[in-house]
Structure 1
Amino acid sequence: MSRELNGFYRSLAEDTDPRGLASPDVVRRHADRRARTRAAVGVLALAALVGGTAVGTRFVLTAGPGTPVGPPAGPPVPPSVSPAPSDPASAPSVSSTPSALPSRTTPSASTSPPTGGGPSARTPTSIPDAAFFALAAANDTGAGAGFTDGPVLPRLCGAEPGGSGVLRQRVRAVPFKLATTPEGYVPDGLYRHSITIYRSGRADDALDEVRAAVQGCPEQKIGSVTSRQKLLPDGGYGDESVLFEMRKPFLDANDEPTGDEEVRLIRAIRIGDVVTVLWEQGWEGSSSPRSQVDADSRRAVQAIRTWWD
């Protein structure tokens, strides 16, 4: 062996010998300590894993079925707004008031009764015979009354007042005599008596039309003579009434004036939505007796009120 190699081995021995080797007990204690450290680190890692799993499970269970699990979404991006069309007519109109939805407690359709146009709660819908008045026994000719057709008012310069808004109408002819006229004589007059049911609110309009027609026709030609019309003061019949006269020269059998005048009285009376008219037409040229027309007008009103009751 060379001298350099022997010197190298000697230097190595000098470096390692003073340190010496650890005893078996020391080596065993170091090994046990390292094992305990590894076990503690493993337990801590397992605890951290279990805790993270529990937190994740709780987050998933508390989230709604439609809630995505994951990081929160970013702020919404506003949609792009297209420019409004230049032509306003081509743009669809959008209502600014939302339509109300019907609830279970509120009906979707209105249950209010329709108003206007139809009869009111007190307006009858038919006209029985009992609605017409009966003459007093002293005025009854025994000929009886008969129902007929035709106008309920005379023509006034072509006007036909009270013709609109009619629901029902009946007309009858009633001959009468004065209480002083003996039995068996010809009647002293003839009523054209009518009852008309109007739509609600139209009966008072009908009487206004009668007034206007009389005022607008002070004179008119009837055959070969001139008839003069005018309103007369009136009141105390029904809710309101209109009385007017038609006056013309009385003609003899040869159609020559006798110097006397023939006077016809016409009274229209309103009771609610009903109008009754007594148009006294005379008999063989006789004039209308005012007192008799007044008495029979009161009978006509009472008959209608009794019918309603």
Structure 2
Amino acid sequence: MSELDEKFAALAADADLLTVAPAAELRTRTDRRARTRAVVATLAVALVVGGTATSGRWLFSAGPTAPHLPATSTPVTTPPSTTAVPPPVDPTPSTSTKPTGTTPSDPTPPTSRTPVGSKVPDRAFLTASETHGPKPYPVDSEDMLPDLCGARMPGEDVLQQRRTMHVLYKGPNTPSDNVPDGTVQQTISVYGNGGAADYVRGRGPAVDYVREFRAAVRACPKTVKGDVTCRLQLLADPNLGDEAALLERVCVVDVAPGEFGAGEHRARTAVVRFGETVTVLDFQGWEGASVDPAETTPLTRQAAQRVENWLG
């Protein structure tokens, strides 16, 4: 027997020893192999799709390192950011001076004007350059107001400072060698025990002074002293200081017509308040002459400005 015949004989002997499975079992094994190949194929597809999706997410995710895509016919819209962007800061500082924490129903009291120093200085009064006369000089402060039927002004018990200057004045058009046109007694009084809050509520010695001054004038329309009779009336309030009042006196001397002093003589008294400070200016014409409002009005305004500058 040749070598080839021997190998075929051995193969036939091995085939006789194998058990052939039934046909149903063979079909089951065939179906299992088919399902296994399907699962493997599905997994392969999933891996491919997952990898593509992941690559797409990496490609289109926003970030500082995202690559720049070439322009296409369809623009790519970036969704708006939800992070609040702070407003730009104005480098120019605010100039608003409005105090914080106040409302119209709760007004802030004005700052109290407290004079500095132990007495009212000369610079708070009218000067010779403003009055066109000699240098003002101090006098006693007893007669700073005209007679108002004996009325007394309040605040003397809390008076802190007071000073009076006697001033001779001329109008700007009066020749230098003429006699003065008139005189003015300027008194400055500083009161205490009130404070700015009281002035907002309409209280305080300085506020009371102006109020009582007006009330005294209204209660005293006429005064008689010796042979001099005066009629008193309030004129329009000057727009000066925190408040102001203006009194005019029209006096008549009981003398025969044509004698010295006959006729009417007009004088004026201005009261101006700055916080706790009150200044009184009592104007009288020279030797009984009438005052000229064209001269007294600007002097009153200049005197008020002097006091305001001193108080600051």
- Into which bin does the TM-score normalised by the smaller protein fall? 0.5 to 0.7
1:159 is aligned to: 151
2:248 is aligned to: 245
CA offsets 1:57-115 (integer angstroms, 9 cap, x no match): xxxxxxxxxxxxxxxxxxxxxxxxxxxxxxxxxxxxxxxxxxxxxxxxxxxxxxxxxxx
CA offsets 1:116-158 (integer angstroms, 9 cap, x no match): xxxx853226311111122445x412x2211000221112111
CA distance in 2, matches of 1:232, 1:182: 30
1:189 is aligned to: 182
1:215 is aligned to: 218
CA distance in 1, matches of 2:216, 2:138: 26
Checking the alignment, whether the CA contact within 8 Å between 1:170 and 1:196 is kept in structure 2 is: yes
CA offsets 1:187-239 (integer angstroms, 9 cap, x no match): 00000011000122211110001001101111111221311111111231111
Percent identity between the two aligned chains: 36
CA distance in 2, matches of 1:235, 1:128: 25
Q: Which runs of 4+ in 1 moved over 6 A?
A: 251-255
CA distance in 2, matches of 1:171, 1:254: 36
**In the TM superposition, what is the alpha-carbon distance from 1:161 to its structure 2 partner?**
2.1
TM-score (norm 2): 0.56
Closer, same or farther: CA 136–291 of 1 in aligned 2, 3 Å: farther
**What is the aligned counterpart of 1:124 among 115, 125, 130?**
115
CA distance in 1, matches of 2:256, 2:161: 39
Q: What are the ranges of 5 or more consecutive residues in structure 2 without an aligned counterpart?
A: 1-110, 195-203
Closer, same or farther: CA 257–228 of 1 in aligned 2, 3 Å: farther
1:294 matched to 2:297: yes
TM-score (norm 1): 0.56
CA root-mean-square deviation: 2.4
1:103 is aligned to: none
1:140 is aligned to: 132
**In the TM superposition, what is the alpha-carbon distance from 1:250 to its structure 2 partner?**
4.8
Checking the alignment, whether the CA contact within 8 Å between 1:161 and 1:209 is kept in structure 2 is: yes
1:307 matched to 2:299: no
> Aligned pairs, how many?
188
Q: Which has the larger radius of gyration?
A: 1
* 2:163 partner amino acid: R
CA distance in 1, matches of 2:254, 2:176: 27
